[in-house]
Amino acid sequence: MALDKKKRENKRFGDKRITLNIGGHRHETWLSTLKTIPGSRLYHLANMQEADESYDPVNKEYFFDRHPIAFATILQYYRVGELHMDQTLCGNVMDDELDYWGLNETDIETCCWSHYYSYREHKNTLDALDENFGPNDVCPEHFSPMRRMLWQFLEDPQSSRAAKAYAVISMAFVGISILVFVLETHPFFQQPSTSNSTSLLVDYTQCVCLEEPKFVEGVPLQVMTIIDYVCVGFFTIELLARFLVAPSKLAFWKEVLNLIDLICLIPNYIDIIREIVEPGSTNSALKFLVVFRIIRILRVFKLMKHYGAFKILVYTIKVSAKELLLMVIFLFTGVLIFASIIYYAEPSNFKNIPIGFWWALVTMTTVGYGDKFPKEALGYFIGCACVLCGVLTIAFTVPIVVNNFSLYYSHAQSRLQMPQAKKKKAWCSVDPVDHTVEFEPDSKPEFRNNLNIYANKVPAAGKEINFEESRSRRPSGRTSTAALKSTESLTDNTAILQDLQEELSDEASSSSAVPVTDKVEVETHKLMSGLKNVSQRLMDERRRQVDLIHKRREERKQQRNEEKVVITDEQNQSSPRDNSTEEKE
């Protein structure tokens, strides 16, 4: 124990303790600790020390405006060699911090990898959800305002009160259409079928019918038919209107709901054509076409357009197709096994294996239809095993689908509660103009800038720009300390700055008597863009010089090691000669 303590003391001998200020939180560590991971940001800091751009000579510390909690885990990685992630951190924040400090995400330990990677999976899933159920205002810019308004009116119930009223009316027509489809099959809403043909009775014979006449076939009441035709007309006009104002005709027919609308209208028009061609006909071929009227029940999916939870459910089933397929495979395997076993266990009760399929399926799904059941002790035992396997199979797979639905539904609800300004990000662009800007007499000079570049004083045309004043102005947005220092060091490169200044001054000198215009401000904006490019070049050059310094240091270390090896070899060669000389003496 004493020996280990002595070794640690020898290791810390000559070491230096430094202070790192990360977002206002101070961390203290040894300089040798920062050198444990070569190539990282802290490794370069340990080599440069006070020469590093983040060093504050007043407080004698290194300041970084970064996330303090994430840095605590990163600093612990330098100490113990294992990178563990704080469970309170978002994976996106940790990803940005690892990228800034020059570390790789593969360094994260396996115990924390699932938490780190889950953010990326959730982000991709929610992005796909937003893409499928995002806003419908995708009309191109060349669309007329009327066409754009009609598209939003038909597609987005939240766009206006009139759109909400239209959505309610559309849902009412869907409900009425389904109700007519169901009620027209009941005898109360039917009338006897009559034909237009008559016959002359030659032999008048009195017949007595002892039973109540039964109508073999009936047709819906005329009121039901009229209501059905009104619904068909409404759906036809709606489909044509949405097709005419759609942004893309091809994309319109790729939508499943639009295809359902078209398919549901086909049986109605077949029925109308049949009545026009052969009214009251009992032709079997035409009656076969009427069977396709059952397709109208698909119109219930139109409610999915106006009910978000239904859309989320369909999307969940689509995304969870692998889990559902896994459940089907498990069920089919269990059904096949238990159906075969029950057939050989009770052949008198289950005549064949397909009947055993039916029994095993209703048993594993815990439905228990009751028409087929075992009657012997061995059959009871097989039935118990079948129920247990079915419960375990469903319990392992269904929660996955439920969790996906909960995630998507909560995300959709949070999107609805999000402010409108965050839902649609407006990207503004500045278009320079060539006319003189006229300001109010009492307007402040700070706001006399069309490009929103803050300035303490408005520069007159032809006047040189004060670069010291521009340098002291802190750039907006999230900028690292390295970028700020590099921006402040731009004035050292006087040659580049003078060229840019002369280029601007030459263009502005021709109109020295003219007030400030957009042209001068555009040139100022170009100058600032040029300064940013120079800043990037200086940063690249600085990185190259730092890499060159590290390379030279490594070469010097290697050269010193080679010199030490040579000196050691010479000493080893000279020692036998000294020994032989002493023996002779």
* Matching residue, tokens 């300089």: 31
d(CA 123, CA 103): 22
Q: Are residues 92 and 124 in the same domain?
A: yes
Q: Are residues 103 and 182 in the same domain?
A: no
d(CA 531, CA 469): 14
Give the percent of the chain with pLDDT over 70.
67
- Where is the domain boundary, 76, 95, 128? 128
The verdict on residue 198 lying in a domain is: no
Give the percent of the chain with pLDDT over 90.
13
The predicted-structure confidence for 230-254, as pLDDT tens digits, reads as follows 999 999 999 999 999 888 888 888 8
d(CA 375, CA 373): 7
Q: Are residues 156 and 302 in the same domain?
A: yes
The verdict on residue 481 lying in a domain is: yes
d(CA 126, CA 399): 19
Segment 50-68 mean pLDDT: 86
Q: Are residues 94 and 242 in the same domain?
A: no
The verdict on residue 435 lying in a domain is: no
The answer, yes or no, to whether residue 368 has pLDDT greater than 50, is yes
Q: Are residues 339 and 299 in the same domain?
A: no
Q: Are residues 108 and 169 in the same domain?
A: no
Q: Are residues 370 and 409 in the same domain?
A: yes
20: Cβ contacts below 8 Å, ≥ 6 apart: 26, 27, 28, 29, 61, 62, 64, 71, 75
Look up the CATH number of the domain holding residue 357.
1.10.287.70
d(CA 362, CA 66): 59
The verdict on residue 186 lying in a domain is: yes
| CA-based end-to-end distance of the chain | 49
Q: Are residues 327 and 288 in the same domain?
A: no
What's at 555, amino acid-wise?
E
Task: Give me 207's structure tokens.
Answer: 């017949």
In Å, what is the CA distance from 61 to each residue of 46, 68, 488?
Answer: 12, 15, 20
d(CA 409, CA 126): 10
Q: What is the pLDDT of residue 480?
A: 41
Q: What is the pLDDT of residue 381?
A: 93
pLDDT band at residue 151 under the 50/70/90 scheme = confident
Q: Are residues 547 and 480 in the same domain?
A: yes
d(CA 406, CA 319): 13
Q: Are residues 541 and 489 in the same domain?
A: yes
pLDDT band at residue 389 under the 50/70/90 scheme = very high
Domain range for 181: 145-193+218-306
pLDDT band at residue 482 under the 50/70/90 scheme = very low
pLDDT band at residue 133 under the 50/70/90 scheme = low
Other C-beta atoms lying within 10 Å of the C-beta of residue 475: 12
Least confident of 5-19, 308-322, 391-405, 479-493: 479-493
Task: Give me 134's structure tokens.
Answer: 């995002």
Look up the CATH number of the domain holding residue 281.
1.20.120.350
What is the average pLDDT score of the chain? 73
Look up the CATH number of the domain holding residue 20.
3.30.710.10
Q: Are residues 224 and 121 in the same domain?
A: no
- Looking at 330-452, which runs of residues are DSSP E strands? none
pLDDT band at residue 280 under the 50/70/90 scheme = low
| Total of domains in the chain | 4
Q: Give the distance, in angstroms, between the CA of residue 456 and the centroid of all CA atoms in the same chain.
A: 43
d(CA 324, CA 103): 39
The predicted-structure confidence for 311-348, as pLDDT tens digits, reads as follows 788 788 888 888 889 889 999 999 999 999 999 999 88
The verdict on residue 578 lying in a domain is: no
The verdict on residue 255 lying in a domain is: yes
Closest CA to 537 of 507, 503, 479, 492: 492
- Where is the domain boundary, 262, 277, 306? 306
Concatenated DSSP letters for 52-64?
STTEETTTTEEEE
356: Cβ contacts below 8 Å, ≥ 6 apart: 338, 339, 340, 342, 343, 350
d(CA 350, CA 345): 9
The verdict on residue 439 lying in a domain is: no
In Å, what is the CA distance from 429 to each residue of 117, 164, 432, 451, 495?
Answer: 36, 34, 10, 10, 32
Burial of 18 (0-12, 13-18, 19+ CB in 10 A): buried
Q: Are residues 122 and 269 in the same domain?
A: no
The verdict on residue 32 lying in a domain is: yes
More confident of the two residues 122 and 102: 102
